[in-house]
Amino acid sequence: MSDLTSLTATRAVALLARREICATDLVEAAIARIEAVDPVINALPIRCFERARQRAGEVDRLKPDDEASLLRGLPVAVKDYNDLAGVRTTYGSPIFADNVAEVSDATVARLEANGANPIAKSNVPEWAGGNTFNPVFGATRNPWNTAMSAGGSSGGSAAALASGMVWLATGNDLGGSLRTPAGFNSIVGLRPGPGLVPRGRRLQAFDTLWVEGPMGRCVEDVALMLDAGRGHDPADPFSFDAGPVNYRDQVLRDDAPARVAFSPDLGVVPMARDIAEICTTAAGRCADLGVDVTDDVPDFTGALDGFQTLRAVLLGTMMSPLLAEHRGAISPDIIGNIERGLAVTPQEVFAAERGRWQLYHRMIDFFETHDFLICPAASIAPFPVEQRYVEEIDGVPCKTYIDWFAITFALTMTSCPVISLPCGFTAQGLPVGLQIVGRPRDEASLLSFARQLEAVLGVAGKLPVEPQGQRLA
């Protein structure tokens, strides 16, 4: 069973296709691993094992000619912000502690239609945040050091992947909710451009900041999951059919870019010195691929304030009715964000939208001379799990509770696809990640370059990791 949980998703699906293993084998291996490891990590608090067993049995009974799905019954984790039919969706909130989804949302339904077999729901912060803890299920711990945070909000998904509980997991990303935990757990997470992966009805339909994206242990696995999850859904007006492109095939291309740019801080965020040094060294490895590295980065002036405004407007739009009815059951941090949205002035919205518009065009100009932009995936290493959020970075105080992941939400404002890639470890053995930004609508080239750099950096082979810092229960 441990041999099966150590497989990449791509390898597991290949074995399923050749019928050297069956879907039930993988479900039972995942259940055994979850029961052994999750008492320490707390990444997958909502289990749907019998549902997964039933679905695996159905897959195993198919004739070979009927097995056209991409994932062929591969067990996956579904983030607890996504609806999975017949299973609880709590959003980490006591208001919805007993809420059971009637149907899977557009993101999950697309994956299920392509052969994904959800086996558990992954833990999240209450509604939003960069540290995965909530009053319903408690905190998720980082498997590299169980005293540390797994990041958020896709912290449960990232920790489950890193510790070998599942092969793929859903994530979503507003300001870094997929990329930060990917970096904290040494796994790979892709924030696609808006619309490539369809979103569910719960989200504000015309928002372009929140996207759904795949998470895996290596770049090729993420490409496989993107193939299984992309597409048009009528519930999401921005979703679209990307055509015949096959990301799994594209990721295997070996055509290296000519020029990339690297910045340790994008010129707008504080950065811990050890993180900057590790990421600078990792970006320098691009030279091993024959790639020229410059420091000619776009101007991100105004991106941080603009994001804070637009994020507040989104939370106010989505959650102000809930605040009116359930204020006492919502965390103070989220209440503050909702009220900030309700207080935003038209002038602030105008400035934020103008700033986003101008930044996008600066990015387009940048891509005339460069193929990719690279920077750290977080300003700090994983911090103690009991700490609600980071209060200062290298001696610089944080103004808000999300300032410490400003390096990710600055890139949200570009609308470009971004991948978080493991690149090394601190002196304390804690994971560090890089972000790579690609041209709009060119996830294929981004994945291809990320896979080439992944091979040079050599971190992916360290997964899955046995939980460190505490003995298993």
Name the residue range of residue 34's domain: 2-304+345-462
Radius of gyration of the chain (CA): 21
Q: Is residue 108 part of a domain?
A: yes
Number of domains present in the structure of the chain: 1
Q: Is residue 311 part of a domain?
A: no
Q: Is residue 323 part of a domain?
A: no
Q: Is residue 337 part of a domain?
A: no
**Six-digit token string for 370:** 């460069």
Q: Is residue 177 part of a domain?
A: yes
Predicted pLDDT of residue 200: 93
Catalytic residue among 153, 163, 263, 448: 153
Cα separations (Å) of 434 from 25, 147, 283, 401? 34, 23, 8, 22
Q: Is residue 334 part of a domain?
A: no
Residue-wise pLDDT for 61-113, tens only, equals 998 766 668 999 999 999 999 999 999 999 999 999 999 999 999 999 999 99
- In the annotation, is 79 catalytic? yes
Distance CA 88, CA 97 (A): 8
Catalytic residue among 93, 149, 177, 263: 177
Neighbours of 281 (CB within 10 A): 12
Alpha-helical regions (H) of 206-327: 219-229, 247-250, 273-284, 303-326
- In the annotation, is 399 catalytic? no
For the domain that residue 260 is a member of, what is the CATH number? Answer: 3.90.1300.10
Instruction: Look at residue 419 and tell me whether its pLDDT is greater than 60.
Output: yes
Predicted pLDDT of residue 333: 87
Judge whether 454 and 219 are in contact, CB under 8 Å.
yes
Residue-wise pLDDT for 7-45, tens only, equals 999 999 999 999 999 999 999 999 999 999 999 999 999
Q: Is residue 243 part of a domain?
A: yes
Catalytic residue among 69, 79, 121, 149: 79
Q: Is residue 333 part of a domain?
A: no
**Six-digit token string for 473:** 């229960």
Residue-wise pLDDT for 353-403, tens only, equals 999 999 999 999 999 999 999 999 999 999 999 998 898 998 888 877 788
* Coil, strand or helix at 169: strand
CA atoms within a 13 Å half-sphere pointing along the CA-CB vector of 253:
17
Percent of the chain with pLDDT over 70: 98
Instruction: Look at residue 281 and tell me whether its pLDDT is greater than 60.
Output: yes
- In the annotation, is 331 catalytic? no
